[in-house]
Amino acid sequence: MKVIETELPGVLLIEPVVHRDARGFFLETWQEARYRAAGIDAHFVQDNHSCSARGTLRGLHAQLGAHPQAKLVRCVRGEIFDVAVDLRRGSPTFGRWTGAVLSAENVRQLYIPVGFAHGFCVTSETAEVEYKCSAPWSRDDEIALRWDDPAVGVRWPVETPLLSPRDAAAPTLAELEAAGRLPAYEPPARAPRG
């Protein structure tokens, strides 16, 4: 598999090896030792599956607090524009975003570590998205970030998306920070000098 680093350290775009022939295709979508060697050390405990119509925007969501959640996202039918936003106060990339097209055709995956918000917009007629989570869903630990927060500036491929009432009323990054809802950045440990 090929692992592509994004502008946000820790957010990884994965291109699995796909074996294609006249029958169709086969690929591994998760193999713990191989993904761990590639820098994904999350222990996944829950899988989710959604189906959405064109123009639907789900997000931006994060699970922090007592049950922080990393995600490994893939689109199994159709196409989405998938986004991660750094929510970690004090991070060199705080408030910045990265996005990638995930589709059934390109079979790419996006890894979103703990401390990042995640969302996607459907660019095909419908899309089915499956994602692995490193912690079970917890209502008390979930937050939402406003999809069109100008301070973040995500360039979504839709101007008037279909939103849930909750996502339409989500707070901005500044409001989340003022409310004390964002995690602190923890710099990576330095290797000992030898």
Q: Tell me which residue of 181, 180, 186, 118 sits closest to 152, measured CA to CA.
A: 118
Q: Left (φ > 0), alpha (ψ -120 to 50) or beta: where does 85 sit?
A: beta
- Selecting among 49, 61, 67, 111, the annotated active-site residue is 61
- Selecting among 35, 43, 131, 185, the annotated active-site residue is 131
Distance between CA atoms of 18 and 25, rounded to whole angstroms? 7
What's the order of all strands across the beta sheet hosting 116-122?
A: 97-103, 79-86, 116-122, 57-63, 142-144
Task: Mark whether 185 is an active-site residue.
Answer: no
Sign of the C-alpha dihedral computed for residues 178, 179, 180 and 182 taken in this order: negative
Query: Residue 33 gets which letter from DSSP?
Result: H
Distance of CA 77 to the CA centre of its chain: 17
- Under a CB-based contact definition with an 8 Å cutoff, are residues 138 and 65 in contact? yes
Query: Catalytic amino acids?
Result: 61, 131
